Amino acid sequence: MTMDINPFKELFSSLTQISQLNFEVWDDKGLVFSSGPDGTDVSISRQIEDFSTYVMSQAVFQHACFNGQQAIFGVPIRNEEKIIGTLLAYGTNSKKSSKPKAMNSRKMPKAKEMETLLTRLTGIMEDKWIDVKERNEIAEELSQSFEDLHLYSRIATQIKTLRFSNSMQNNLVAEILKTMRVDLSFVMMPERQENNVIVADENNSVKIPNPESFVENLLNTIPPDAPSLAENYFMVANSLTNTEYSELHNHPFRFLTIKIYHKDKFYGWLGVVSFNIKEKFRRSELRLLISMAEQLATVIANTDLYHDLERFIINMIKSLIYAIEAKDVYTRGHSERVSDYCMLMADHLELGKGEKSILQWASILHDVGKIGVPESILNKQAALDDEEYKIIKEHPTRGYNILQPIEQLSAALPGICHHHERYDGKGYPNGLKGKEIPLNARIIAVADTFDAITSKRAYREANGAEKAMTIIDEVAGTQLDPYLVSVFKEIYNKDIACGREEQTFLLEVSR
């Protein structure tokens, strides 16, 4: 520790002015401070230095004479028990002239008094230095907690918005790099390589030629029996102290990685690398990374669960539709085709992602109510009587009732319930008119009509697409929404007509 004399300079200078004593601080290398005027005689200086060395070696108060009769006093200065220098005092007049003028012995302070004074003064200095040191240590700790707080506040925001998408993960990994001030950060998942993220600081002077293989090597070098793995992490504080790791990069580095782990399922590793080995990974950083890895694992697990559920529901619905279509040989593939047409129209109408998804559910399920209609009616070759027709007309309401318990499909229900309403108000079940009919129902009605005309029925053969378009055009404004018919015409010309022939052929074969 160096001696910071600055806070005491004024004190010593004032003491010199009133006491005719010079105060000097020395360390083992030479003079650190003198309260007297500059330009001490070299020969005197030499003697004083010798005296200082003597005081340091004796480690207690000393007094002596130099230049024959000049008295000099000195005490050691300690820092935590170790002697680091001396505080000396001698009469000022000795320096002013080369002609030594003896100080009156009566004027000269007694050794005992000087010992007390000098000991008190060094005591003050030593206390001050200890205080400063402690204060700096506290401030350093405070500074570290500021870093932690900053880190937490930045990462917490990222975690809050974390969804399992690549861009979010990129943000998280980039934020870790920035806030933890490391040189490389990564998420590596062996079974989901498409989600792997490695971010390296491009401005760094130390280059990693192939970050991906570097990270792979880091992970492959983890000893499987490392005790810290029980707590889901592994750390190398300095690669130089670890032969296997020192081979991975010619510049020494430190490395910390955490298992991404949720309910006994291992997903991969979240980790950081820094080439600044002067700093260490702090306990708080480890804790933060562990909690981030936990969050990440939870998000991945939830996303998996969500996708599983979604797939399960889609498959359930498909089975449901196959069940209806199994009863009616003529409408096989109808629901899917209607849904396809609806999606083309939705794109043309520039519906949002959410609206589109609702329309998709509504269109694929629009005939689900036919499950309650007897096969004899569905497949009847002759014209239907009033009673049979009444049963057929119940299918939109039946569909509504069947799906109503499924809360997640509630938005799709109006489209299903009203797809047989007519634009002129003569449809069923509610006789809604014009824009009273929900948009989805009007869209489905157009697609449904087109597919019905172009499909084979129990009572008639399939009509050609061109004829279907003519019929649809005729009922625009009465049965169907004229604007949506015009939309359908456009998508027909653009998307359907060209692929239609081939499609019909395939459908014929499958029947």
Partner 1 sequence: MEIKKNILVIDDDAHIRRVIELKLRNAGYQVLIAKDGEEGLNLIESLHPDVVITDIVMPKLDGRAVCMKADEFKKEWPFLTLIITCSLTFDEKKWVNTMKDTQFMEKPFSPNKVLQCVDQYLGIER
The binding site for partner 1 (CB under 8 A) comprises 135-136, 139-140, 142-143, 146-147, 149-153, 179, 181
Nearest-angstrom CA–CA distance, 146 and 180: 12
CB of 199 to partner 1, least distance (A): 18
Q: Which CB, 274 or 397, lies closer to partner 1?
A: 274
Minimum distance of partner 1 from residue 142's CB (angstroms): 5
Q: For tokens 């809050």, what's the residue?
A: 160
Residue number with CB closer to partner 1 (274 or 449): 274
Q: In this complex, which beta carbon is closest to partner 1, that of residue 155 or of residue 480?
A: 155
**Closer residue to partner 1 in complex, CB, 139/316:** 139
Which long-range CB contacts under 8 A does 344-347 form with residues at least 24 apart? 344/491, 344/495, 344/496, 345/443, 345/446, 345/447, 345/484, 345/487, 345/488, 345/491, 346/443
- Cross-strand partners of 62: 74
Pick the closer one to partner 1 by CB: 65 or 132. Answer: 132
Least Å distance, CB 251 to partner 1, is 17
Rounded CA separation 340/503 (Å): 13
| Side chain identity at residue 84, one-letter code | I
- Residue 137: CB minimum distance to partner 1, A: 10
For partner 1, the closer CB: 102 or 138: 138
Q: Which tokens in the block code for residue 498?
A: 């060209």
With respect to partner 1, which residue has the nearer C-beta, 111 or 149?
Answer: 149
Cα(34)–Cα(54) distance, rounded to whole angstroms?
18
Q: How many CA atoms lie within 13 A of 221 on its CB side?
A: 20
The residue among 136 and 193 lying less far from partner 1, judged by its C-beta, is 136
Nearest approach in angstroms of CB 153 to partner 1 is 5
Closest alpha carbon to 445 in 476, 467, 400: 476
Q: How near is the Cβ of 178 to partner 1 at its closest, in Å?
A: 9
Shortest distance in whole angstroms from residue 99 CB to partner 1: 41
Q: Based on CB atoms, which residue is closest to partner 1, 141 or 375?
A: 141
Q: Edge-to-edge strand order for the sheet containing 30-34?
A: 30-34, 21-27, 82-91, 70-79, 62-66
Q: Please give the single-letter amino acid code of residue 409.
A: L
- To partner 1, the closest distance from the beta carbon of 146 in angstroms equals 5
Q: How many CB atoms lie within 10 A of CB 47?
A: 17
Relative orientation angle of helices 439-454 and 334-348, to the nearest 10 degrees: 130
To partner 1, the closest distance from the beta carbon of 163 in angstroms equals 24
* Beta-bridge partners for 71: 65
Q: Name which of 182 and 487 has its Cβ closer to partner 1.
A: 182
Nearest Cα residue to 327 out of 401, 380, 404: 380
CB 4, min distance to partner 1, A: 12
Alpha helical stretches, state H, 161-267: 166-180, 211-220, 243-246
Nearer to partner 1, 152 or 330 (CB): 152
Radius of gyration of the chain (CA): 45
Smallest gap from residue 150 Cβ to partner 1 (A):
4
Task: Provide the edge-to-edge strand list for the sheet that holds 265-274.
Answer: 197-200, 184-188, 265-274, 254-262, 233-236
Cα separation, 28 vs 22, whole angstroms:
19
Q: Which residues pair with 86 in a beta bridge?
A: 26, 76
Please, which residue, 103 or 286, has the CB nearer to partner 1?
Answer: 286
From CA 416, how far away is CA 306, in angstroms rounded?
26
Tell me the C-alpha to C-alpha distance, in Å, between residue 463 and each of 120, 211, 250, 394, 466. 114, 62, 76, 26, 8
| Shortest distance (Å) from residue 175 CB to partner 1 | 13
What dihedral angle (degrees, nearest 10) is formed by the CA atoms of 229, 230, 232, 237? -40
